[in-house]
Amino acid sequence: MEKENIQAASNGRRDTIRILGIETSCDETAASIIADGKVVLSSVVASQAKLHEKYGGVVPEIASRAHIEKIYPVISETIEQANLTKDDIDAIAVANQPGLTIALIVGVTAAKTLSFAWNKPLIGINHIHAHMQSAIMDAEDFEAPAAALIVSGGHTSLYNYQSPLKPELLGSTIDDAAGEAFDKVAMILGLPYPGGPSIEKASKDGDPKARNFPRTMLDKDSLDFSFSGIKTAVLYHCQGQNMKGHNKAASMSKQEIADIAASFQKAVVDVLVKKTQRAADRIEAKSVLIGGGVGANTVLRNAMQDMCDASGRKLLIAPKRYCTDNAVMVASLAYHKFKEGLFADLSLESKATG
Ligand code: KG4
Ligand code: ZN
């Protein structure tokens, strides 16, 4: 529950505002301290990738348990890294939606506890909006509106972005997220989790034109996405239509795997670029903003740059290290809520959607 609380904002106000951000929405336990929404004083990310590797995707119960083990060490390390004490912190921010509820709840409980024990204002942050913030926090000359694409393991959505706190949803995936498709295709090809970086690596020696995987555009005006078709196309390609054949990927040459990886990656990138351009044209965007784990993909980054150059738009894209989940983006966005006095109380809930 969010409410105006100017009182809390002005308590102990000082020139520099330092916010502790906490992120546990999926499989990274992260904490960071940011000054004035921009200056990164510390950032700690404990990745659980190794724990989920053998399952080829995030297992919510394992994620939650790992967050419980890591949350306090990660927060303590962040405060230590910033060379601060609790008295230097002005507010506690936490991603409370969307994500895996039993993962989010760990960060939310920690944030509420610190807020209560240290008597600091609490700020609830939307994880997707925070991904947008990671693309814009260093921008000097942002021109609104922007077509914002958030493309990750849990989400693939387009927004009309005018300002940090109120992005307007234009479209999103009707089935799998793009990152989820990367993870599943990597599993089919026998490549390690997380699939995005593995596919990108394998594709370096591959021919993106070797296979013609489907580029699902849906209705001609649609700004929604669908990636389940391409995932199934790769599956059929490797196991046969009736799925009775053994997985051929196990006996494929390195070159065949590289060709499939490159062709799959190109098909996904083509769709992401075309839909982002469609959204940008629709809202007459001056800029394009990209965030989320798949945004770390070099082929996507280059294709988005080419698209923006051709249409005279400025590309704002998160640095690779802040594309995947982190708490820098949480603390940075929280600064804007802090300035507006948008604080939560201890009834703040974790929500799967949002
Ligand atoms: O943003 P993120 O860390 O978590 C969510 O909010 O979902 O995104 C993780 C997703 C995973 O699916 C991962 O495979 C994908 O981002 N990813 C990539 C790359 N790096 C991470 N996908 C394509 N290319 C990459 N280089
Ligand atoms: Zn994310």
Task: Tell which wins on pLDDT, 1 or 309.
Answer: 309
C-alpha of residue 196 to centroid of ligand 1, in Å: 6
In terms of residue numbers, what domain contains 166? 139-318
* Whether 65 and 143 share a structural domain: no
Q: Is the CB of 291 under 6 A from ligand 1?
A: no
Does residue 346 fall inside a structural domain?
no
- In single-letter form, the type of residue at position 47 comes to S
Q: How confident is the model at residue 8 (pLDDT cuts 50, 70, 90)?
A: very low
Give the residue-averaged pLDDT of 172-186.
96
Contacts by residues 162-165 (CB-CB < 8 Å, ≥ 24 positions apart): 164/129, 164/132, 164/133, 164/136, 164/333, 164/336, 165/129, 165/336, 165/337, 165/340, 165/342
Ligand 1 contacts CB of residue 294 (under 6 A): yes
120, 92 contact by CB (below 8 A): yes
CA 294 to centroid of chain Cα atoms? 8
What does pTM read for this prediction?
Answer: 0.93
**Which one of 27, 273, 324, 325 would you pick to mutate in the ligand 1 pocket, going by the greatest count of ligand atoms within 8 A of its CB?**
324
Q: Which has more pLDDT, 2 or 35? A: 35
Tell me, yes or no, whether 80 and 155 share the same domain: no
Residue at token pair 């997220």: 177
Same domain membership, residue 306 and residue 184: yes
pLDDT(248) > 80: no
Q: Are residues 176 and 87 in the same domain?
A: no
Give a yes or no: residue 351 inside a domain. Answer: no
- Average pLDDT over all residues of the chain: 94
Kindly identify the ligand whose nearest atom is closest to the C-alpha of 154. Answer: 1
Residue 37 domain flag: yes
Band (7; pLDDT cuts 50, 70, 90):
very low
Cα(29) to ligand 2 centroid in Å equals 12
326 lines ligand 1 (CB under 6 A): no
148 and 292 fall within a common domain: yes
Is the CB of 154 inside a 6 Å radius of any atom of ligand 1?
yes
Look at residue 245 in the predicted model and tell me its pLDDT.
62
Whether residue 178 is contained in a domain is answered as yes
Q: For a substitution probing ligand 1, which of 25, 132, 151, 182 has the most ligand atoms within 8 Å of its CB? A: 182
Q: Give domain status of residue 95, yes or no.
A: yes
**For range 207-235, the mean pLDDT:** 96
- Burial of residue 203, with CB atoms counted within 10 A of its CB: 0-12 exposed, 13-18 middle, 19 or more buried: buried
Q: Residue 26: CB within 6 Å of ligand 1?
A: yes
Looking at the structure, tell me whether residues 194 and 102 fall in a common domain: no
Least trusted range by pLDDT, from 6-10, 125-129, 282-286, 320-324: 6-10
Domain CATH code at residue 111: 3.30.420.40
Tokens 């499989």 map to which residue? Answer: 27
Peptide bond into 167 cis (omega under 30): no
Compute, in angstroms, the gap from residue 238 CA to the centroid of ligand 1.
23
pLDDT given for residue 13 in this prediction? 56
Nearby residues for ligand 2 (ion, Cβ within 5 Å): 152, 325
pLDDT band at residue 10 under the 50/70/90 scheme: very low
**279 and 334 housed in the same domain:** no
Residue with more model confidence, 189 or 9: 189
* pLDDT tier at 146, thresholds 50, 70, 90: very high
Residue 303 in this model has a pLDDT that exceeds 70: yes
The mean pLDDT value for 284-293 works out to 98
Q: Whose CA is nearest to atom 14 of ligand 1?
A: 196
Could you give the number of structural domains in the chain? 2
Model confidence at 233, pLDDT cuts 50, 70, 90, reads very high
Do 163 and 250 lie in a common domain?
yes
Domain identity same for 206 and 121: no
Distance CA 224, CA 158 (A): 8
Q: Please give the pLDDT value at position 244.
A: 66
Does the residue 349 lie in any domain?
A: no
The answer to whether residues 279 and 332 belong to one domain is no
pLDDT bin (cut points 50, 70, 90) of residue 76 is very high
pLDDT of 141: 87
Rounded to the nearest angstrom, the distance between the alpha carbon of 331 and the centre of ligand 1 is 20
| 344 occurs within a structural domain | no
- Is the CB–ligand 1 distance for residue 23 below 6 Å? no
Query: Which pairing describes strands 156-161 and 168-172: parallel, antiparallel, or unpaired?
Result: antiparallel
Residue 177 CA to ligand 2 centre (angstroms): 11
Least confident of 7-16, 19-28, 178-187: 7-16
> Same domain for 61 and 90?
yes
pLDDT at position 243: 66
Task: Verify that 160 and 67 share a domain, yes or no.
Answer: no
186 Cβ closer than 6 Å to some ligand 1 atom: no
Residue 127 has pLDDT above 50, yes or no: yes
324 lines ligand 1 (CB under 6 A): yes
**Domain for residue 27, yes or no?**
yes
Number of the ligand 1 atom closest to the C-alpha atom of 152: 8
Environment class of 275 (CB within 10 Å of its CB; exposed 0-12, middle 13-18, buried 19+)? buried
